[in-house]
Structure 1
Amino acid sequence: MDWLLANGWVLWLILFLGLAAVETLTLDLFFIMLSVGALAALAATFAGAGLVLQIVIFAVVSLLMILLVRPVAVRHLQRGPADQLNNIDRLVGAAALALEPVTAHSGTVKIGGDTWTARSADGAPLPAGTRLSVTRIDGATAVVEPVDRPAPPVPDA
């Protein structure tokens, strides 16, 4: 027992490494936050803190990491790079063709070879055969608007 009190840093080091190893298996950013708490307690051991203070430091640092750092880190990791869009995000702005009339409540469009239920973005009816653009996706329904045709060029006089 005296050896443990004299070499408590070994326990904090083992706890730090063990929690970090568990994090590599779970990848949910929970055990790494506890691991940082163990690292803080390890530092407190080297600073000469007593066992009770080491445990308090472990608990407080771990709790602060879980409450303050983990949500930010999870949000950052879930967002991913800007150029890496999911399938739904890729459809926004895509060209579509009305297969049947599209209204504010119903319709069918073809988007890149797939048939989607659709509705008009502004509620205006769009006849079948109209070239459309996807403005957003609501569940399994594409919200579309007509493609604006650019004005023909004016010839120079």
Structure 2
Amino acid sequence: MDWLGDDIWLTWMAIGVVLSVVELASMELVFLMFGVGAFAAAVAAGVGAPLVVCLVVFGAVSAGMLSLARPPIVRRLHAGPSLPSGQHGLVGQIGVVDEPVSRDAGQITVRGQRWLARPLDPDAHFESGDEVLVVAIEGAIARVTASHAS
């Protein structure tokens, strides 16, 4: 082990940096936890701990980070509102009637896209130029109601 010399802390720092850089590619917060373990081992080596102690510190800190720190961090990162995308992102948007909307026919433009439209209430009818609220998407048909703005 003479090849490591007195600068083993530098080796642990380099391992920590490499693991942290690898984390940037994976984004799973696994390599980062091992990187923190390597930095802790670098501190241990810097105060003169033997290699065996550095290995134990690396293993213990890495395991602790993986089991105690990573789960709440991942939960927090993945928490928050999910944003509807695609056609379901149109629900709640205001559209403008292009062709009169009734139970049998009609088209609207919403977010620059033309959609077949039918009223949610089968007895409702909307004229060209009316603003409508998209309340559901059923296949290729937007279900609409009167907009509160109109």
TM-score calculated relative to the size of structure 1: 0.58
Q: Which residue of 2 aligns with 1:41?
A: 41
How many matched pairs? 140
Distance 2:141 2:46 in 1: 60
What is residue 110 of structure 1 aligned with on the other side?
A: 109
Determine if the alignment matches structure 1 residue 14 to structure 2 residue 11.
Answer: no
Instruction: Note the residue ranges of structure 1 that are not aligned, 5 or more in a row.
Output: 151-157
Identify unmatched segments of 5+ residues in structure 2. Answer: none
Q: Which residue of 1 aligns with 2:65?
A: 61
Quick one: which of 54, 58, 71 aligns to 1:51? 54
- Rounded Cα–Cα distance in structure 1 between residues aligned with 2:91 and 2:63: 46
Q: CA deviation at 1:58?
A: 2.1
Deviations 1:10-65, CA, capped at 9 Å, x for gaps: 332112111222233x2624333432333233334446481342122222223433
Query: Residues 4-153 of structure 1 correspond to what in structure 2 (within 5 A)?
Result: 4=4, 7-24=7-24, 26=25, 28-30=27-29, 31-46=31-46, 48=49, 50-54=53-57, 55-75=59-79, 89=89, 92-97=92-97, 99=99, 100-102=101-103, 108-118=107-117, 120=119, 123-125=120-122, 126-129=124-127, 130-135=130-135, 142-148=142-148
The alpha-carbon distance between structure 1 residues 5 and 140, as it changes in their structure 2 partners (threshold 3 A), is farther
Aligned AA (2:110): I
1:153 counterpart residue number: none
User: SS at 2:70's partner residue?
Assistant: helix
Cα separation, 2, equivalents of 1:115 and 1:8:
66
- Spell out, residue by residue over 1:42-95, the C-alpha distance to the aligned partner (whole angstroms, 9 max, x if none): 33444648134212222222343332213323447x979xxxx97765773323
CA deviations 1:96-143 (Å, max 9, x no partner) are: 32634258xx964322441224454xx412325253123466776544
